[in-house]
Amino acid sequence: MSDFSITSNELIDYTLKLQKINDVSLPFAVQNALNEVAKDVKKRTLAETTNKMFNVKRKNFFKSNSAFKMYKPKQFGYKISKMHADVGITKGKNPNETATEQVVHQQTAKPIKRGINPLGNKPQTKNIINILSKKPEFVEAYGTNNSAFHYIRAASRAKRRSTALVITNSKGTGSVHQVKSFRKRKPTKRNPQKSIIKLKNIASYNKGGHVKLKKKAPFLNNAAILSTKEKLNDEFIKAAEKQISKFWKK
């Protein structure tokens, strides 16, 4: 975080005035300023930092899956050195959201549990939050009973739903495909195939796989620093003026 001193040249006059009013005016102004900065991280700077670091497929992902928590002086005390406001990544309204854990781990470069990984995009240079907009169609590779029938049916569904086709093997590994085209044809003696399917391989698949990141992506820290630099002093001044105005109205 950037420095915030209530005794700096810019803020000292407000600090002294608040101290003269009563014992709680200064702590209230400090905490209101911190709370406003936490709100600014969620509403503004989080989007700025994540757009630079991530290939965001769902534009409202961070807005929907982040939250801030305000410190309440009346409940936790008025000691300024202990005051804080928290902001972080949550699962939002969807308890089954898995991308949030992946994103949080990128802050510290922890290994990420992720089965699907895009080809040609190294995690440390291009952080993919969600490459699939819908649940993919899964089918086991050829070699099992009726595998050709299941493959054709899964490919047809994937094309119709505009989602991915995951072809796996008995070891739980495989590949993810985009179904470029799917059409039926009349079989002939020369070519007995009833369906012509064109696939584009877009990712690898490893059930229960992990991705090791070589670089941190401290998007949340960067957003907090940005909001602190741009808003904290101004928010303290606003809060201080409000406290001073209330005092003179009495």
Do the bridges between strand 210-211 and strand 112-113 make them parallel or antiparallel, or are there none, so unpaired? antiparallel
pLDDT, position 202? 77
Quote the pLDDT of residue 233: 94
- Residue 108's pLDDT is 73
> CA 248, CA 228: separation in Å to the nearest integer?
29
User: What pLDDT, on a 0 to 100 scale, did the predictor assign at position 230?
Assistant: 94
Below-50 pLDDT ranges, the chain: 1, 121-131
What is the rounded CA–CA span in Å between residue 86 and residue 68? 5
* The pLDDT of residue 129: 40
How many residues can be counted in the chain? 250
User: What pLDDT score does 189 carry?
Assistant: 61
- Check residue 193 and give its pLDDT: 61
Q: What is the rounded (10 degree) CA torsion for 52, 54, 56, 59?
A: -40
Q: What is the pLDDT of residues 29-72, one digit of tens each?
A: 999 999 999 999 999 999 889 888 876 667 778 888 888 888 88
Q: What are phi and psi of 244, to 5 degrees?
A: -65, -40
Q: What is the pTM of this model?
A: 0.61
In sequence order, the 6+-apart residues with CB closer than 8 A to the CB of 86 are 38, 68, 69
